[in-house]
Chains A and B, each alone.
Chain A
Amino acid sequence: MTGPGRTNVGSAGVQDVAALAFVLSSAGIGACVLTLLFNQAEFLALGTLPLLAGVLAALAWRAHIAGRSGIGSLLVVAIACGVAGVALRAAPEAIWGLHLDMIMHRSLATSMVGMALCVGAACVSIYQYMGATPSALDYSRYPILLVPAILTLGVYAGLIGYLLVKGLPNLSWEIITTPYQFLQWDEMVYEKGWPVWESHSIRQVGMWHQVQGTLLLMGLTSLFALPAGIGVGVLLGEYSDGWFATVVRYSVNILRAMSVFILGVTAVSIVSFAAGTPLSDLLCGFYYDPLGGRHVGHGSYVTAALLLALLVIPVVARSTEEGCRSLPHDLREGSLALGATEGHTLTRIILPWSAPNIVTAVLLGCAEAAGSVAVIVFIARMGQYGVNPLNEVTSLSQFIFEARWGTHAIEDAIRPYQFSAGVLLLGLTMGLSAAALALRHHFAYRYRSR
């Protein structure tokens, strides 16, 4: 009657019901997402499930009449929807955890279970809609791929949208180019003939030094990380046999897995160790206050860049290694056959070939350095005494941090601008990523066009 790929007259009804099931399951997914956001929306999800069970059962019946395959999975999903709908409605609204003072609201379970079942329902309804043919099986898998991806992208979009909405209004050229300055002084005045100290302060809010600091941090980190990263990468890519390469590879992997907070604590240790030693100027930094007095800083850009470089080196090394390994074997042989030394082959053939990888890795490392706050959080201040490698370190991420966890005075002053700094940082990171893509494309065309 019906063979694979052939449909008969009865299939017209199947398609309509399948379309209805698909629409209903999509609505169900939406309802489940809504339930995640608002507990009160749970009734939507709870209502969709029995409806879906019914429609799927009808679909199964029609498909059975039309002699199609896939009835089994339809029935399974239908029964699961029905059971879940009943069980969830019967369950108590708040579930106590065993011996733990923990409450889980039923809507969480509803949304999770509902999402899974609705995705399954969407899959089987697509399968029937497309005629229950073998190719339809491939199409029917799309909801499993697309729903998580779209939900994740939706979350990202929501976060970025929130950031933009809160940050853009306060972002102005003026605030970007004004440095944060705070001056406090005491003045002696006479009150009723008696001398009294009166304290005055001026505070100027802006993020100019933070912007410069972020750029300086990225530059210094790249400066320290590039040679080491390329060196390690070439070592691992070219001379990968032997115990030394194994040790290096293992160390690089561990470095990557290390918590950045440890680096932050290390930064404090370094600064407190260096104070009072000849290294103080380099590692702690120094600055001049408005009256000309020289002070030891709380941590310089050099210290921060050294530690951030530890984070960026594994990225660069891994990319360089991959670039070296991806070099076609016959290019290397061709170079050797012409009497080039290994060093010449390295600098003229292998490294240009790896250039796209290296550039991408450095720019991504820069983006990471820009956003990293854990490393500098203990040693950074507001950078009001200037931006140079031996001055106190600051960055946009520190600005955002201070808006919440600085002293009360600082907090109140800069809180309106915390989201603006976030927008700026986001823009910087996106710009760097775009630059990485463009440069990669350019280098690949220049050094690899095969």
Chain B
Amino acid sequence: MPSRIDIENLRVAYGSNEVVKGVSLHVAAGQPTALIGPSGCGKTTLIRTLNRLAELTPGCTTSGRILIDNEDIMGVDPVALRRRVGMVFQRPNPFPKSIRENVLYGIRASKMKVDHDEVVETSLKHAALWDEVKDRLKSSAMELSLGQQQRLCMARTIAMNPQVILMDEPAASLDPLSTSKLEESIARMKGEYTVVVVTHNMQQALRVSDYTAFIYLGELVEYGDTKQMFERPEKEETANYIAGKFG
């Protein structure tokens, strides 16, 4: 069941350096959303706050509220939260275990009572990886190509059946073929999970998301329907960024 996300006046600072400056954002349940903007503008910090990974960095302070399904995430056990909010990282980081064990890692960690074989197959199919690995599930995940590893990371996140899936530039280190496979999988997730994708690539935002938020220098500049933002952006900064005049 996907969740809605409400971010209210979020401020995140590393020491004295404020990286996210009062962002308020509302993401409807099941709505694929893209966060675009130039490098270093707080997009990654923003989504890492959503699964409370940001606070693990020493010196990080946050203020404001984040509600997932109207529940303040700061009041929830972070480990329990991360089982509902999954994350796929920029560089694929499969564990040095077999493919099957990678997919089952989160399930074993949370001691979920599910049929392991079924979950492995379903998750790998969702991530468009099943056909390529179905006869070598016991082989090491490190032998896969980079694109396959990233899809494996997606599969193990999906296996947890989360409500929200966060993706931090998931296709950044991938070749075009793997990128398109990944984007297909993301597009299939619409309605089943609330997906928030950080991307540099505006065409990718067009391909995978319904709504886009443009973040610049830690502030939310514009948020709206993806197609509309690209064809008729309201703010000048958005128009400049999309036209490639900076960033």
Contact, CB under 8 Å: B53 / A333: yes
Contact, CB under 8 Å: B157 / A338: yes
Contact for A335 among B81, B95, B110, CB less than 8 A: B95
Determine if B129 is an interface residue (Cβ-Cβ < 8 Å).
Answer: no
* Known A-B contacts A330-B89, A449-B140; A336 and B82 likewise in contact (beta carbons under 8 Å): yes
From B53, B96, B157, name the one whose CB has the most chain A CB atoms within 10 angstroms.
B96
Determine if A276 is an interface residue (Cβ-Cβ < 8 Å).
Answer: no
* Known A-B contacts A333-B89, A450-B142; A340 and B95 likewise in contact (beta carbons under 8 Å): no
A344 nearest CB neighbor, chain B only: B109
From B86, B95, B157, name the one whose CB has the most chain A CB atoms within 10 angstroms.
B95
Contact, CB under 8 Å: A339 / B96: no
A343 nearest CB neighbor, chain B only: B109
A353 to B105, CA, bound (A): 16
Determine if A94 is an interface residue (Cβ-Cβ < 8 Å).
Answer: no
A242 to B9, CA, bound (A): 34
Interface size class of A (residues with CB under 8 A): 20 to 34
**Which residues of the partner chain B approach A341 to less than 8 Å between Cβ atoms?**
79, 109
Determine if B209 is an interface residue (Cβ-Cβ < 8 Å).
Answer: no
Residues of chain A from 310 to 362 with CB closer than 8 A to chain B in the complex: 328, 330-331, 333-341, 344, 348-349, 352-353
How many residues belonging to B are interface residues under a CB distance threshold of 8 Å?
Answer: 28
Determine if B91 is an interface residue (Cβ-Cβ < 8 Å).
Answer: yes
Determine if B93 is an interface residue (Cβ-Cβ < 8 Å).
Answer: yes
Closest beta carbon of chain A to B59's beta carbon, Å: 13
A447 nearest CB neighbor, chain B only: B96
Closest beta carbon of chain B to A323's beta carbon, Å: 13
B109 nearest CB neighbor, chain A only: A340
A-B residue pair count with CB separations less than 8 angstroms: 68
Contact, CB under 8 Å: B93 / A338: no
**Which residues of the partner chain B approach A338 to less than 8 Å between Cβ atoms?**
82-83, 86, 105-106, 109, 156-157, 160
Residues of chain B from 164 to 205 with CB closer than 8 A to chain A in the complex: none
Contact, CB under 8 Å: A337 / B96: no
A334 to B152, CA, bound (A): 12
Contact, CB under 8 Å: A448 / B96: yes
Closest beta carbon of chain A to B163's beta carbon, Å: 12
Contact, CB under 8 Å: A334 / B82: no
**Which residues of the partner chain B approach A336 to less than 8 Å between Cβ atoms?**
53, 56, 82
From B79, B153, B156, name the one whose CB has the most chain A CB atoms within 10 angstroms.
B79
Residues of chain A from 412 to 449 with CB closer than 8 A to chain B in the complex: 447-449
Contact, CB under 8 Å: A339 / B80: yes
From B56, B89, B106, name the one whose CB has the most chain A CB atoms within 10 angstroms.
B106
Closest beta carbon of chain A to B168's beta carbon, Å: 10
Determine if B51 is an interface residue (Cβ-Cβ < 8 Å).
Answer: yes
B143 nearest CB neighbor, chain A only: A449
Residues of chain A from 278 to 306 with CB closer than 8 A to chain B in the complex: none
Contact, CB under 8 Å: A339 / B110: yes
Contact for B160 among A334, A339, A352, A450, CB less than 8 A: A339
Contact, CB under 8 Å: B89 / A331: no
Closest beta carbon of chain B to A142's beta carbon, Å: 38
The interface bits of chain B over 108-132 (1 if a CB of A lies within 8 angstroms of the residue's CB, else 0) are 1110000000000000000000000
A330 to B156, CA, bound (A): 15
**Which residues of the partner chain A approach B87 to less than 8 Å between Cβ atoms?**
337
A189 to B58, CA, bound (A): 87
Contact, CB under 8 Å: B91 / A335: no
B110 nearest CB neighbor, chain A only: A339
Contact, CB under 8 Å: A349 / B82: no
* Known A-B contacts A330-B93, A333-B93, A334-B95; A339 and B56 likewise in contact (beta carbons under 8 Å): no
A448 nearest CB neighbor, chain B only: B96
**Which residues of the partner chain A approach B86 to less than 8 Å between Cβ atoms?**
337-338
A407 to B46, CA, bound (A): 78
Closest beta carbon of chain B to A239's beta carbon, Å: 13
- Enumerate chain B interface residues (CB-CB to A < 8 A): 51, 53, 56, 79-84, 86-87, 89, 91, 93-96, 105-106, 108-110, 140, 142, 153, 156-157, 160
4 shortest interchain CB distances as A-B pairs? A339-B83, A338-B106, A340-B109, A330-B93
Q: List 25 A-B contacts (CB under 8 A).
A: A328-B93, A330-B93, A331-B95, A331-B96, A333-B53, A333-B93, A334-B89, A334-B93, A334-B94, A335-B105, A336-B82, A337-B51, A337-B87, A337-B157, A339-B80, A339-B82, A339-B84, A340-B79, A340-B109, A344-B109, A348-B108, A353-B96, A447-B96, A448-B96, A449-B142
